[in-house]
Amino acid sequence: MYEQLFLLRNYEDRIYYMFLEGIMPGTIHQSQGQEACAVGVLFDVRKEDYMTSTHRPAGHCLAKGVSLESMMCEMFAKANGCCKGKGGAMHTGDISVGAIPAVAITAGGMPVAIGAGLSCKMRKTDNVVICFFGDGASNEGAFHESMNAAAIWNLPVVFVCENNLYGASTHINQVIKIKDLAERAAAYGMPGYVADGNDVLAVNKAANEAIDRARKGKGPTLLELKTYRRCGHSRNDACGYRDKQEEKEWFEKDPVARCKNYILQQQLAAPVELEAIEKKVLQQIDDAVAFAKASPSPEPQDALLHVYA
């Protein structure tokens, strides 16, 4: 788990630095600070389980098993990217590992998760669907329609709301009257739970209960994970709208550092072992960057391919 957390953090950091260098096209919506949500939820899912993601998909995709190289190539807009250079940061995915290409319209992936859930159920599999979305999505009509449908049809969908307190620059208190988004589950007749989204073990435990429930045909769950972005909403966002004290408090709850401290305190691994893991991951990222830089760009006229299957 720590290895994955460390990978997600350093993948995103590396992307950020390369962005600042100006060697990467497009835009980025990063997830530093929210790694425990992706890793904790997806740590025990199967490859055959599906996942829908958002405009902030990198962590979800890495944790679901999309290859680091193919993601890095996509970021560099290369022909061998996971979307062949046609998706970019906001549409990362790889259906062969169950990562449905990310939907970058707020809540737009939620009805898709309903379809994937119906499909799992109709094909009589016991696979489940993990549906990631943010606090902002919970005010969309698509959220309501999807939650209701999953409940009435008893679908194997786990709705995972990463509540990072801000929809772009708008604080959640300005747009939601209730304390916990998990309360909304009651309106649809499904269970809703809150978990500390910066504690990977807490997330994993809560998610596994929901996943187990879904797998056994007992229906959907809404899981609200309280978390916080270390980064801006997108590139060039210095977060001038956030309270500095609030930032300080949350940064002290950093999920990667917390997991590391826990391991060391509990003596689950020696510092030297963690260092070896970190070194390995950093090397993997270096290799992926080198691989992506050396990979071919698509031909301009490749833009005309893949409009239809």
Partner 1 sequence: MATLSIAEALREAIREEMRRDERVFCLGEDIDIEGGFGGAFTVTLGLSKEFGHERILDTPISEIMIAGAAVGAAMTGMIPIADVQYGDFLFCMMDQLANNAAKMTYMSGGTVKVPMVMRAPVGATTRGAQHAQSLEGFFTHIPGLKIICPSTAYDAKGLLKTAIRDNNPVVVFEHKLLYGSKGNRAEKAALSPVGEVPDEEYLIPFGEGVIRREGKDITIVANLLMVYRAMEAADILEKEGISVEVIDPRTLVPFDYELVIHSIRKTSRLMIVEEDTKRNGWGAEVAAQIAEDALYYLDAPIVRVAGYDVPVPFAPVMENYVVPSASRIAEAARKLMKS
Q: Please provide the DSSP assignment of 158-215 as one string.
A: EEEEEE-SEETTEEGGGT--SS-GGGGGGGGTS-EEEEETT-HHHHHHHHHHHHHHHH
- Beta carbons within 10 angstroms of residue 248's beta carbon: 9
Q: Which is nearer to partner 1, 95 or 168 (CB)?
A: 95
Q: Which is nearer to partner 1, 82 or 195 (CB)?
A: 82
Phi, psi of 259 (to 5 degrees): -65, -40
Total of residues contacting partner 1 (CB under 8 A):
44
Q: Which is nearer to partner 1, 124 or 244 (CB)?
A: 124
CA angle 114, 115, 121 (to 5 degrees): 90
Q: Which is nearer to partner 1, 79 or 282 (CB)?
A: 79
Q: Which stretch binds partner 1 (CB under 8 A): 81-89, 168-176, 208-216, 252-260?
A: 81-89
Torsion of Cα atoms, 235 then 237 then 242 then 247, to 10°: 50
- Beta carbons within 10 angstroms of residue 168's beta carbon: 13
R_g over Cα of the chain? 19
By rule CB under 8 A, what string of x and - marks binding of each residue 46-65 to partner 1? Answer: ----x-x-------------
Strands 50-52 and 170-171: unpaired
The counts of H helices and E strands in the chain are 10, 7
**From the list 23, 105, 187, 264, which residue makes contact with partner 1 (rule: CB under 8 A)?**
105
Binding status of residue 116 toward partner 1 by CB under 8 A: yes
**From the list 58, 100, 182, 285, which residue makes contact with partner 1 (rule: CB under 8 A)?**
100
What distance, in Å, lies between the first and last C-alpha atoms of the chain?
Answer: 37
Binding status of residue 89 toward partner 1 by CB under 8 A: no
> Least distance from C-beta 167 to partner 1, angstroms?
17
Q: Which stretch binds partner 1 (CB under 8 A): 108-116, 219-227, 263-271, 275-283?
A: 108-116
Q: Which is nearer to partner 1, 18 or 83 (CB)?
A: 83
Binding status of residue 120 toward partner 1 by CB under 8 A: yes
Q: Which stretch binds partner 1 (CB under 8 A): 16-24, 37-45, 96-104, 254-262?
A: 96-104
Binding status of residue 123 toward partner 1 by CB under 8 A: yes
CA distance 24 to 75: 7
Strand partners, 225: 162, 195
Binding status of residue 87 toward partner 1 by CB under 8 A: yes
Q: Which stretch binds partner 1 (CB under 8 A): 33-41, 92-100, 198-206, 225-233?
A: 92-100
Binding status of residue 82 toward partner 1 by CB under 8 A: yes
Give the number of C-alpha atoms closer than 13 A to the C-alpha of residue 221, restricted to the C-beta side. 24
Binding status of residue 81 toward partner 1 by CB under 8 A: yes
Residues 132-151 that bind partner 1 (CB under 8 A): 141-142, 145-146, 148-149
Residue 139 token pair: 């005010």
Candidates 207, 71, 55; CA nearest to 133 is: 55
Binding status of residue 122 toward partner 1 by CB under 8 A: yes
> By the criterion CB under 8 A, which residues form the site for partner 1?
50, 52, 81-87, 91, 93-96, 100-101, 103, 105, 108, 110-120, 122-123, 141-142, 145-146, 148-149, 152, 305-309
